[in-house]
């Protein structure tokens, strides 16, 4: 079984909705890194030196490669990445090797076999 790593930088107000939608689309788990910050096309506004930008969460998903595109598109839709500028970004990368995913493989094998 081959895996992809999906990394999503999400407005913290959308994190729970993104997690729920990703799970419904086939993700079997996630890791959340709270309060990430970044800079996009337009620089963040400040007031007396304090940032007015919303907080972001970095959400990591290790998913089976046949489910990855659907999960990625679901995250983008729920997070409103393509409809509202500055709401977030998500991308996927190949995972060369992984350990600790035995339970995921057992659960995903019948799901992936249906898709093939």
Contact 67, 2 (CB under 8 A): no
Q: What is the pLDDT of residue 36?
A: 78
40 pLDDT band, cuts 50/70/90, is low
Rounded to an integer, the average pLDDT of 14-34 is 94
Rounded to an integer, the average pLDDT of 76-86 is 91
Give how many domains the chain has, as a whole number: 1
Task: Read off the CATH number of the domain in which 103 is found.
Answer: 3.30.70.120
Rounded to an integer, the average pLDDT of 4-20 is 95
Question: What pTM did the predictor assign?
Answer: 0.81
Question: How many other C-beta atoms lie within 10 A of the C-beta of residue 59?
Answer: 26
Contact 36, 56 (CB under 8 A): yes
Q: How far is CA 109 from CA 2, 7, 83, 91, 94, in A?
A: 11, 23, 34, 24, 19
112 pLDDT band, cuts 50/70/90, is confident
- For the CA atoms of the chain, what is the radius of gyration? 16
Rounded to an integer, the average pLDDT of 96-113 is 84
57 pLDDT band, cuts 50/70/90, is very high
Q: Which domain holds residue 104?
A: 3-40+49-115
């Amino acid at each position: 079984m081959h895996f992809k790593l999906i990394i999503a930088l999400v407005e913290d107000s959308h994190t729970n909705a993104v997690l729920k939608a990703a799970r419904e689309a086939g993700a079997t788990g996630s890791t959340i890194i709270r309060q990430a910050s970044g800079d996009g096309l337009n620089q963040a506004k400040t007031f007396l030196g304090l940032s007015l930008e919303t907080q972001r969460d970095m959400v990591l998903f290790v998913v089976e490669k046949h489910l990855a595109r659907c999960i990625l598109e679901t995250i983008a839709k729920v997070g409103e990445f393509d409809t509202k500028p500055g709401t977030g970004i998500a991308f996927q990368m190949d995972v060369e090797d992984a350990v600790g995913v035995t339970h995921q493989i057992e659960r995903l094998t019948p799901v992936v076999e249906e898709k093939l």
